[in-house]
Chains A and B, each alone.
Chain A
Amino acid sequence: MDIIFLTFILVLSVFLGFELISKVPATLHTPLMSGANAISGITLAGAFLAAGATTNDMASWLGGAAVAFATINVVGGYLVTDRMLGMFKSKRGK
């Protein structure tokens, strides 16, 4: 049941993703990619399980490294996307 449930979520998310992203204009494709980088840092939520919840040394080292890599994505991704999007200005804004 769990597998079916998770697959169900996957399928719906993929369709939703295609709908949403195909509406992003070409002008914003670079920020879209760096924003996607940030979102893929979501593995952070999974990395906590590995890093903190076991007493096995090897597992917590692997988990710690996973936390570090994922945090690079989250922090770096959102900051650089914000920096880029801040540059896009409208004619009327000036």
Chain B
Amino acid sequence: MDIEIYTNLAYIVAAALFIFGLKMLGSPATARRGNAYSSMAMLIAVVAGLIGSQAVSYEVIIAGIIIGALIGTLSARLVAMTNMPELVALFNGSGGASSLLVGWATLYYFEADVVPTFTAATIVLAILIGGLTFTGSLIAYGKLSERINSAAFVFSGQRILNSALLVAIVVCAYLFCIEPSATSVYLYALLGLALLLGVMAVIPIGGADMPVVISLLNSYSGIAACAAGFAVGNNILIVAGALVGASGMILTNIMCKAMNRSLANVLFSGFGAAKTAKAVEGEVKPISVEDAYYILEAASNVCFVPGYGMAVAQAQHVVKELGKILEANGCEVSYAIHPVAGRMPGHMNVLLAEADVPYEQLVEMDDINPRIGNVDVAIVIGANDVVNPSAREDSDSPIYGMPIINVDQARTVFVLKRSMASGFSGVDNPLFFGENTRMLFGDAKESISGVIGEFG
């Protein structure tokens, strides 16, 4: 089998390039080239896979590639950066669907032969994880785009139903593996149960926890590819799938830590039901655009703290403009980003990069906190829970223990807010009543444009 040797040699080159590509993602300066290396690796692997498959008919393959390339190109070109979480959710889903289909189709390979038990088991895994990823991602997409209610959906008997679902899956998987075939009734049962499991797994998770869910589904899409790789006995699927799986796991872990919650807590319980925080009382001190200007004009160190609200208000461009004016005024400007700000890991960074903020000015929570006392003005835009001091001080608060950006320790805090509503978690925020806090009420974009106008 000469051709198999060449295919595998090509896979080794591809694996090395994938690894190089990921390594170069370690710095924004080299990341774009890294992505190009990774895409080259993909091209090599795909061409080798196509030749190695010794396909007899190309019609279906070509049709699939044309359709996929068209949809992929359009979605990548047209998506607005604000909607990246939705797109990534959909891509996770299509990765899962593809692994499910590969696993399923592999069964037909054995037509008259007996399917080995190990292969049958990996096919089951590819179908289960792939199916779960597919429908789970569709629900996550629905929640992110608010096509369906983004609140946690909980009903009585949910746990019993889910347990029954898991038992059914184990039983069907076992029965299928005893006598695996493409016409087995248990195969169809497994397909249905896997798709149902994805729905049931994501509906009880609320919109604010979506960064965790898409990271986890990202990981699953990789694990599903791994399982499919075992089913067809293809090593590049295993290598690439494992890299994706590890990546998603790391991100999931970072997100959970940034919310001080365990993964089990995110997945299985609706948020904030258990504890009630102290009611916050005090006087809110509003500030006018003009007064905000006078304070900023005199400031020598300003730090912006963006949250999902900035994306909603599409305020990133005016924020950057104000940052530029402040810099020209001799002020040091930085943008502090909490790991769970926005709806997916790194979402705020992309939005600010889109608005031309140089990446040196994007700082992480752990970098800004030690020097937050030197910040003259911290400007909070559309963030709430990630700057809520109760996380540090009030042990009864549902978000107690969550690491936050300590803006309340800056000399002055501006909070840009539409009204006095509480954040996603529904927790009161004592920051708004702080001695050094000034509230700039109104649409974030208009408020900042107003301040820019004063500088003009």
Contact = CB atoms under 8 A, between A and B. Distances in A.
Contacts of B18: 39
Interface string A41-77: 1111111111111111011111111111111111111
A20 B36 CA distance: 17
B76 A75 contact: yes
Interface stretch (B63-71, B162-170, B295-303): B63-71
A55 B57 CA distance: 8
Contacts of A86: 32
A31 B69 CA distance: 20
Q: Chain B: interface residue count, which band?
A: 35 or more
Interface string B46-58: 1011100111111
B248 interface: yes
Given A39-B244, A44-B46, A84-B353, A52 B237 contact: no
Contacts of B22: 17, 20-21, 24, 35
Given A28-B31, A42-B237, A64-B61, A76 B222 contact: no
Contact of A63 (B101, B215, B245, B247): B101
Given A29-B251, A29-B345, A56-B111, A17 B245 contact: yes
A73 B94 contact: yes
Contacts of B254: 26, 29
Given A29-B349, A50-B108, A94 B68 contact: no
Given A20-B23, A25-B28, A29-B345, A13 B60 contact: no
Contact of B94 (A54, A72, A83, A90): A72
B88 A89 contact: no
Interface string B231-249: 1111111111111111111
Contacts of A14: 242, 245-246
B251 A59 contact: no
Nearest to B222: A40
Interface in B104-153: 104-106, 108-109, 111, 118
Nearest 6 pairs of A and B residues by beta carbon: A71-B68, A52-B55, A17-B246, A45-B49, A67-B64, A29-B346
